[in-house]
Amino acid sequence: MKIVTLIILILLPNLALATDKADLVLVIKSEAKLFLVKNDKVFKAYKAAFGPNSRGHKQMEGDKRTPEGNYVLDYKKEKSPFYKSIHISYPNEEDRKRAEAAGVDPGGAIMIHGRKKASTQLQLWAMENLNWTEGCIAVSNSAMDDIWEAVDIGTPIEIRP
């Protein structure tokens, strides 16, 4: 009986983590991190890459910036050129108004996604260490698997500078 109790105590925390669902995804660009949050507590953190022009809020299509602000994760795409991807609801109404006032297209198709298969060690190094996306949030494929399971459609995402 003691062995069964010990096994349960050892396994339960791991089972709880495996089934935790985030009620918020928090991204802090200056820290190059994506955090999964539940009840105001971070339960997972991942290294993230952004667009190479990552300082500041996305202004328009092609500026290679990652948006900043509050959005929603609104759909998942299992078959993606970048492993798996989860769409971010950029542009929101404020983004559209800002772009319209500036006479530009705000852009879109901003995702959290995994990585393409690297064909060289240099490509792998770059994807792990540089900001290389067109404005998306990239994580490792194993991180993407975790995020995929922990995030439901409709989960809010907050992207901070």
Specify the pairing of strand 33-38 against strand 111-113: unpaired
Model pLDDT for residues 50-101, shown as the tens digit of each residue: 999 878 899 899 999 999 999 999 999 998 888 999 999 999 999 999 999 9
Band of pLDDT at residue 151, cut at 50, 70 and 90: very high
Reply yes or no on whether the pLDDT at 9 is more than 50.
Answer: no
Answer yes or no: are the C-beta atoms of 84 and 148 closer than 8 Å.
yes
pLDDT at 12: 47
Strand (E) or helix (H) holding 125 = helix 121-129
pTM here is: 0.84
- The answer to whether residues 38 and 151 touch, using CB atoms and an 8 Å cutoff, is no
Q: What pLDDT shows up at residue 8? A: 38
Q: How many CB atoms lie within 10 A of CB 101?
A: 8
Residue corresponding to tokens 């494929």: 141
**Complete domains list, the chain, with CATH:** 22-160 (2.40.440.10)
Q: Does the pLDDT of residue 1 top 60, yes or no?
A: no
Nearest to 99 by CA among 60, 53, 146: 60
Banded model confidence at residue 18, pLDDT cuts 50, 70, 90: low
pLDDT the model gives residue 19: 61
